[in-house]
Amino acid sequence: MTALLTTNLGATPLLGRGKVRDLYAVDDALLLVATDRISAFDHVLATGIPGKGKVLTQISLFWFEFLEKLLPNHLITAEVSEFPASLQPYADQLEGRSMLVKRAAMFPVECVVRGYLTGSGWKEYKASRSVCGIPLPEGLLDGSRLPEALYTPSTKGEAGTHDENINYAATEAAVGAADAAELRRLTLAIYREAAEYAEGRGLILADTKFEFGRTADGIILADEVLTPDSSRFWETASWKPGGAQPSFDKQFVRDYLESIHWNKQAPAPGLPDDVVERTQAKYLEAYRRLTGRDLNL
């Protein structure tokens, strides 16, 4: 199969293209279409991963249903047959990878939660024994489980820019004290629920990020949820603090780009077939492990 790198839905108004998703206006709703684009080091690569958008969408749909007991979400329907008639001619682009969702006023923060010390958190800890300004005990290693899950929000970086970590006071300034407290509560509650479920599937949820919005009915969960693009999932059986942990994400892509000494400037390079195939297999394995089902692309 070939990778879907961009969508074209005719007269349907295109609101924007993110690193992975294309966003359209459909009457008083929005249409999110997850393409097969893949980004690394803040750049979208020239090569996509066939079926990746379908995997991301189906994992998000699984979690939306799983988490409904905690809070509502933005999903209206993911059944293309239920989409408006104007979208039916484009069913081949939309099947399995699109969601019709409610419009919401999105909060201007990425709600990040870390249960384990890794990535940028590990770099900061080595320098200051803290993560996002939160003091941590001595003796932790790369991959260590944190004494408790940390809420470490960030700004939302535009394409080609980094998200910037912000402290809790900055979140209060951005959204108000009451909403800041609720976003933190929801983020930690969702993480605990999802991490416990993942543990039962032999997976560690090391960290993840959520996006929330507000409708007339209150705060809802939006965007993608607990996918390999927004989260680090590790194999419980092979977890060993003291170095980078193998994860169910685009690590093969990052490793390849490091091996060719790409300067991380545009234009981004393409990927060889073996890196594409191994990355696709990792995404499919994440879906199977989390849901207990196979996904036929």
Res. 264 pLDDT band, cuts 50 70 90 = very high
Residue environment code for 90-107, b if the CB has 16+ CB neighbours within 10 A, otherwise e: beebbebbbbbbbebeeb
* CATH T-level fold of 1-102: Phosphorylase Kinase; domain 1 (3.30.200)
When pLDDT is averaged across residues 208-221 and rounded to a whole number, the result is: 97
pLDDT tens readout for residues 36-46: 999 999 899 99
Top-level class of domain 106-238: alpha beta
Instruction: Locate the DSSP E strands across 18-137.
Output: 21-26, 29-34, 39-40, 43-44, 75-77, 98-102, 105-106, 111-116, 130-131, 134-135
Contact 155, 109 (CB under 8 A): yes
When pLDDT is averaged across residues 114-118 and rounded to a whole number, the result is: 97
pLDDT at position 233 is 97
SS3 state of residue 5: coil
Residue 32 reports pLDDT greater than 70: yes
Please indicate, yes or no, whether the overall pTM of this predicted structure exceeds 0.85.
yes
Res. 161 pLDDT band, cuts 50 70 90 = low
pLDDT tens readout for residues 162-185: 678 888 999 999 999 999 999 999
Residue 160 reports pLDDT greater than 60: no
pLDDT tens readout for residues 87-108: 999 999 999 999 999 999 999 9
**Every domain of the chain and the residues it spans:** 1-102, 106-238
